[in-house]
């Protein structure tokens, strides 16, 4: 036995070093866009809500935004706490208003699981899907997707939310709680254009693909509260843009973001980077995208939505003559960041000075024209060479710099010239709403733990690093393998050396 001891000692050291270098793992598991070394990843592919070859008129787009803004005004709702893994939403779509950049993703609910196509919405809180008992609900969709209905009796894990449940009586609820004859907690959304949905709250299993550690892939799940729609009206009944429901990503306590983070399944931070070119796409993750140059502005406290303090607007470095009081936040005023709104809406007191400043700065370079009631310009060369940069200046010293393509959209051609139109609208209410047109080509981080939003310009076709613990435990979104931190490598080496020492002692005693 003693003859083989040196060989065994060498073998022990070799094994330990091998483990240190490989991280105790088999070859890394490819990810969709992001993986987390010590947590879980839920992968939910997003698809366009409207085909690229079916553009809508701007009036239809404004009508859709009005529906969304009515939803935004409803408020926030239900439960909260800790930190865990990354949820990744690969994005498809475009910010071009004539390609209609609406986004939806797939979720699986129930046992056995049923897949639903639900629209992503950062302006509301509740995830709701269509119930099998729904009346006035569409049964087909012009989006080329199959519609599904949630069958509560058919799910072995479905449960009701009773009228006595704290969720039903929560003062944070976004909807009017109603109590049915069978003791079910009901809800009702009513939107500005007269459309709406009503139903009752359910609990059931939310299914997702998970990566646990570096090489273990598993089907995972978590119980959540969601709405089961039994009635829909207005635009929600139209088949041309019908989906199975709405996936609320607001800051209310009943949003899926809050429900998952309260149990440590996901971190209390999410980020997105929306591509602005013709092909669109991007990334949307529950986690913190880490790129250089992010500036932060504090969220307005005690507001149910993602409100920021907009202080001023500059054009070509010159501040516009706008009273800062028009941007102050109240129950009906303020500035909201909303990925679900396509255009950007400025209060009247800001819209008129902005439009005048843009027109004055290019009066000698372009030909102004009114098209379908919109201010447009006939341009003979690149808009970047003619139109000024714009700055939105927020509390905390954070400025959002806008290129011409961030406030103009291409409408087509007229008399051989390219026609570009202002993508800002006069807000019908007293709220300024920043939509996809200005949010594109930027990383946005919604840091709910620190109550702030950050952003920086970024090429959203590139991969991004994502963290779930404020800079630690970095993962790579857009690459096929993990980006392990130096700290992790040192820890592995330390424990591997301990293992080598243990094996040396063991063999020396045998």
* Pairwise CA distance, residues 380 & 494, whole Å: 64
* Pairwise CA distance, residues 412 & 470, whole Å: 44
Residues 6+ apart with CB under 8 A from 191: 67, 70, 71, 234, 235
Structure tokens, 282: 């991007």
How many residues does the structure list for the chain? 510
Surface-to-core class of residue 162, CB atoms within 10 Å of its CB (0-12 exposed, 13-18 middle, 19+ buried): middle
**Would you list the DSSP string of 165-209?**
SHHHH-TT-SS--EE-TTSBEEEEEE-TTS-EEEEEEEEEEEEEE
Which of 204, 338, 436, 441 is the catalytic position? 338
Q: Is 338 tagged catalytic?
A: yes
CA-wise closest residue to 313 among 144, 434, 158, 164: 434
**Would you list the DSSP string of 370-388?**
EETTEEEEEESS-GGGTSP
Distances (CA, A) of 212 to 294, 474, 485, 486, 491: 30, 15, 17, 20, 19
Which of 65, 88, 96, 121 is the catalytic position? 121
Q: For the chain, how many helices (H) and strands (E)? A: 7, 33
Q: DSSP class of residue 72?
A: H
* Beta carbons of 137 and 128 less than 8 angstroms apart: no
CA-wise closest residue to 130 among 204, 254, 236, 205: 236
HSE-CB of 357 using CA atoms within 13 angstroms: 20
Crossing angle of helices 486-509 and 5-22, in 10° steps, is 160
Q: Is 121 tagged catalytic?
A: yes
CA-wise closest residue to 355 among 369, 335, 375, 341: 375
* Beta carbons of 272 and 283 less than 8 angstroms apart: yes
Distances (CA, A) of 430 to 45, 195, 325, 373, 482: 35, 22, 12, 21, 46
CA-wise closest residue to 427 among 190, 72, 177: 72
Q: Which residues are catalytic?
A: 121, 338
């Amino acid at each position: 036995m003693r003859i083989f001891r040196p060989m065994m000692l060498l073998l022990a050291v070799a094994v330990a070093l091998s483990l240190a270098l490989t991280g105790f793992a088999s070859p890394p598991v490819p990810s969709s866009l992001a993986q987390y070394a010590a947590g879980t990843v839920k992968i939910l592919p997003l698809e366009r809500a409207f085909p690229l070859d079916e553009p809508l008129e701007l009036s239809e787009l404004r009508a859709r935004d009005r529906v969304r803004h009515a939803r935004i005004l409803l408020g926030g709702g239900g439960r909260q706490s800790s930190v865990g893994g990354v949820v990744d939403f690969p994005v498809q779509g475009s910010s071009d208003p004539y390609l209609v950049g609406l986004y939806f993703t797939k979720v699986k609910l129930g046992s056995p699981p049923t897949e639903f196509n639900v629209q992503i919405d950062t302006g509301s809180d509740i995830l709701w899907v269509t119930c099998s008992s729904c009346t006035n609900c569409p049964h087909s969709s012009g989006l080329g997707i199959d519609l599904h209905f949630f069958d509560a009796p058919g799910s072995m894990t479905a449960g009701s939310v009773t009228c006595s449940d704290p969720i039903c009586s929560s003062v944070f609820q976004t909807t009017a709680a109603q109590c049915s004859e069978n003791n079910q907690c009901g809800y009702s959304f009513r939107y500005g254009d007269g459309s709406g949905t009503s139903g009752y709250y359910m609990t059931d299993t939310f299914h997702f693909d998970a990566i646990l550690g570096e090489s273990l892939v598993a089907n995972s799940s978590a119980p959540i509260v969601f709405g089961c729609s039994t009635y829909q009206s207005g635009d929600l009944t139209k088949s041309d843009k019908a989906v199975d429901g709405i996936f609320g990503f607001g800051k209310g306590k009943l949003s899926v973001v809050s429900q998952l983070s309260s149990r440590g399944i996901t971190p209390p931070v999410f980020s997105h980077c929306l591509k602005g070119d013709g092909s669109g796409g991007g990334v949307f993750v529950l986690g913190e995208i880490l790129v250089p140059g992010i500036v932060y502005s504090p969220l307005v406290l005690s507001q149910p939505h993602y409100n920021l303090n907009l202080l001023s607007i500059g054009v070509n470095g010159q501040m516009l003559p706008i009273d800062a009081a028009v941007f102050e936040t109240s129950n009906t005023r303020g500035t909201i960041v909303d990925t679900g709104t396509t255009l950007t809406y400025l209060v009247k007191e800001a819209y008129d000075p902005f439009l005048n400043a843009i027109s004055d700065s290019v009066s000698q370079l372009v030909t102004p024209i009114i098209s379908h009631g919109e201010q447009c310009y006939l341009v003979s060369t690149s808009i970047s060479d003619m139109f000024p940069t714009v700055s939105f200046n927020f509390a905390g010293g954070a400025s959002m710099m806008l290129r011409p393509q961030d406030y103009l959209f291409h409408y087509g051609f007229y008399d051989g010239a390219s026609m570009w139109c202002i993508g800002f609208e006069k807000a019908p209410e007293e709220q300024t709403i920043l939509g996809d047109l200005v949010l594109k080509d930027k990383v946005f981080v919604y840091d709910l733990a620190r109550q702030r939003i950050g952003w920086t310009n970024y090429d959203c076709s590139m991969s991004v690093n994502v963290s779930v613990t404020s800079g630690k435990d970095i993962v790579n979104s857009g690459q096929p393998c993990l980006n392990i931190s130096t700290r992790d490598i040192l820890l592995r080496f330390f424990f591997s050396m301990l293992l080598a020492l243990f094996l040396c002692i063991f063999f020396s005693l045998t």
